[in-house]
């Protein structure tokens, strides 16, 4: 190693909270305290703050983005922020709290390994807290962290913290949320963010930064069956090198599981099997590959495989189906309707699809199921689709890659829906 930085990989996190819970302040502090808020950014901020008549530099201004939003004074899209502690890199997906922005939160949650759910210590668990928790859970974010913020405004009261915790646990159990942790903090003063501070001595657990530094990345993907959607086939026939004449490399990313040379695989939809002859990454041979690696696979037998096919281990096939049961979040202004044909993209595979039924729609505020004839933007519902081509699926609960799909409107090419397979 020529540089001194250790490497604990990368963690993607999501921050959610209602307006004014202190989300921007917390993110600002994380960035600030990890020394990534750089001097000239602060310089530009000092100017903006003056214009708005604020006295101190407002940490939350660091996380606003686009001009229009700055004018409106609210955050209306998912913004991505980066910081590094030197040992780990973090990507924060920052989604706004308003209820009409369910789709943004769903988008931000889709890639997160950990969600920080902010609660204002004075207000306790609110409707929005439930909604955010439901959505994070629905999107399969493996770890939820409830951060009880503004502890300085409730005299750092342990009693208050415990009451909120009990309140939360009661409804979390109803939703089936298991992996949840609680942390008291003050984003503004910094207690328990990076420094412990001296006011929350009664709390035993690690600070927010310690939690983030040690939170696991993507275990489930490793434990799940091997899934390799083929993105691209490499056939360098025109090469001057005769050794490459018969080269056929199947390129893609291991979406879940792991694989080693010599493993028996099956290609879908053909059902033909072969053995892994070689695994390559950037031209170098590997003995094995695991989830999240982008690799090239070479097989012992010549079988016909193209983009959109999936390679799996022969003894752990996914379900092959032309009928999809799923929870969808509708993302577009034009409603989801039975009369139209859509395009569904699942891994690297596209198929035409028609809505065949809506079992229920979830009221994300009351968490009650309702009847619905069509879906509008931000609706979440249990639906069924009929597919023109088969897809190779796993339940989303078990696999966040082969259980996920997007719905595309072919007339505009817009991404109009996000789906999670329930089988």
Partner 1 sequence: MFFSSLHAQQRLLSHLDWLEAEAIHILREVAGQCGNPALLFSGGKDSICLLRLAEKAFRPGRFPFPLLHIDTGHNYPEVIGFRDRTAAELGERLLVRSVEDSMRRGTVVLKHADESRNKHQSVTLLEAIEEFGFDCCIGGARRDEEKARAKERIMSFRDEFGQWDPKNQRPELWDLYNARSHKGENIRAFPISNWTELDVWQYIEREKLELPSIYFAHQRPVVKRNGAITPITHLTPAKPDEEVINLQVRFRTVGDITCTAPVESDADTIEKIIAETATTTVTERGATRLDDQASEAAMEQRKKEGYF
Ligand X SMILES: Nc1nc2c(ncn2[C@@H]2O[C@H](COP(=O)(O)OP(=O)(O)O)[C@@H](O)[C@H]2O)c(=O)[nH]1
Residues 101-160 that bind partner 1 (CB under 8 A): 103-104, 106-107, 110-111, 143
Q: Shortest distance, CB of residue 345 to partner 1, whole angstroms?
A: 6
64 is a site residue for partner 1 (CB under 8 A): yes
What is the DSSP pairing of strand 143-149 with strand 368-370?
unpaired
Site string for partner 1, 308-347 (x = CB under 8 A): -----------------------x-------------xxx
- Region near ligand X per CB under 6 A, out of 13-21, 140-148, 217-225, 397-405: 13-21
Q: How far is residue 253's CA from residue 142's CA, in Å, rounded to a whole number?
A: 21
Q: Which helix (H) or strand (E) holds 221?
A: helix 219-223
User: How many helices, marked H, and strands, marked E, lie in the chain?
Assistant: 8, 22
294 is a site residue for partner 1 (CB under 8 A): yes
187 is a site residue for ligand X (CB under 6 A): yes
Phi-psi region of 287 (alpha: psi -120 to 50; beta: other; left: phi over 0): alpha
217 is a site residue for partner 1 (CB under 8 A): yes
Long-range contacts of 51-60, Cβ-Cβ distance < 8 Å, separation of 24 or more? 59/24, 59/25, 59/28, 59/29, 59/32, 59/187, 60/23, 60/24, 60/25, 60/27, 60/28
Q: Which of 139, 102, 140 is nearest to 375 (CA)?
A: 102
Q: How far is residue 50's CA from residue 263's CA, in Å, rounded to a whole number?
A: 64
11, 12, 16, 22: which one contacts ligand X (CB under 6 A)?
A: 22
153, 199, 247, 398: which one contacts partner 1 (CB under 8 A)?
A: 247
Site string for partner 1, 15-44 (x = CB under 8 A): --------------------x--xxxx-xx
**CB closer to partner 1 out of 152 and 379:** 379
Q: What is the DSSP-derived secondary structure letter of residue 64?
A: -
153 is a site residue for ligand X (CB under 6 A): yes
**CB closer to ligand X out of 85 and 149:** 149
Contact indicator for 189, 197 with CB cutoff of 8 Å = yes
Binding stretches for ligand X (CB under 6 A): 17, 19-25, 60, 149-150, 152-153, 186-188
């Amino acid at each position: 190693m020529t540089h001194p930085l250790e490497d604990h990989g990368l963690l993607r996190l999501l921050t959610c909270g209602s307006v004014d819970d202190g989300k921007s302040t917390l993110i600002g502090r994380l960035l600030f305290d990890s020394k990534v808020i750089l001097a000239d950014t602060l310089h530009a901020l000092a100017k903006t703050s003056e214009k708005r008549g604020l006295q101190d530099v407002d940490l939350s201004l660091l996380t606003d983005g686009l001009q229009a939003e700055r004018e409106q004074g609210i955050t209306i899209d998912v913004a991505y922020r980066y910081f590094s502690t030197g040992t780990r890199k973090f990507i924060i997906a920052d989604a706004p709290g308003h209820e009409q922005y369910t789709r943004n939160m769903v988008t931000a949650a889709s890639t997160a390994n950990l969600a920080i759910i902010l609660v204002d210590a004075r207000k306790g668990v609110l409707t929005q807290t439930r909604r955010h928790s439901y959505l994070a859970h629905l999107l399969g974010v493996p770890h939820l962290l409830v951060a009880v913020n503004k502890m300085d405004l409730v005299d750092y009261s342990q009693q208050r913290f415990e009451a909120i915790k009990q309140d939360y646990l009661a409804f979390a159990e109803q939703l089936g949320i298991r992996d949840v942790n609680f942390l008291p903090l003050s984003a503004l003063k910094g207690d328990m963010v990076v420094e412990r501070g001296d006011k929350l001595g009664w709390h035993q657990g690690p600070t927010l930064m310690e939690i983030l530094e040690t939170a696991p990345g993507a275990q489930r993907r490793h434990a799940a069956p091997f899934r390799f959607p083929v993105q691209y086939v490499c056939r360098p026939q025109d090469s001057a090198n005769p050794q490459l004449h018969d080269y056929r490399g199947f390129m893609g990313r291991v979406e879940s599981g792991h694989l080693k040379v010599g493993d028996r695989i099956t290609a879908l939809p053909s059902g033909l099997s072969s053995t892994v002859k070689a695994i390559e990454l950037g031209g170098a041979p590997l003995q094995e590959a695991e989830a999240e690696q982008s690799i090239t696979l070479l097989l012992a037998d010549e079988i016909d495989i193209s983009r959109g096919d999936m390679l799996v281990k022969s003894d752990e096939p996914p379900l092959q189906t032309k009928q999809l049961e799923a929870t969808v979040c509708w993302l577009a202004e034009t409603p989801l309707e039975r009369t139209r044909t859509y395009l569904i993209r699942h891994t690297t595979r596209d198929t035409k699809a028609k809505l065949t039924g809506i079992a229920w729609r979830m009221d994300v505020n009351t968490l009650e199921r309702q009847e619905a004839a069509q879906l509008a933007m931000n609706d979440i519902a249990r639906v069924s689709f009929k597919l023109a081509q088969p897809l190779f699926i796993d339940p989303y609960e078990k696999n966040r890659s082969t259980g996920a799909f997007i719905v595309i409107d072919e007339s505009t090419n817009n991404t109009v829906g996000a789906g999670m397979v329930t089988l």
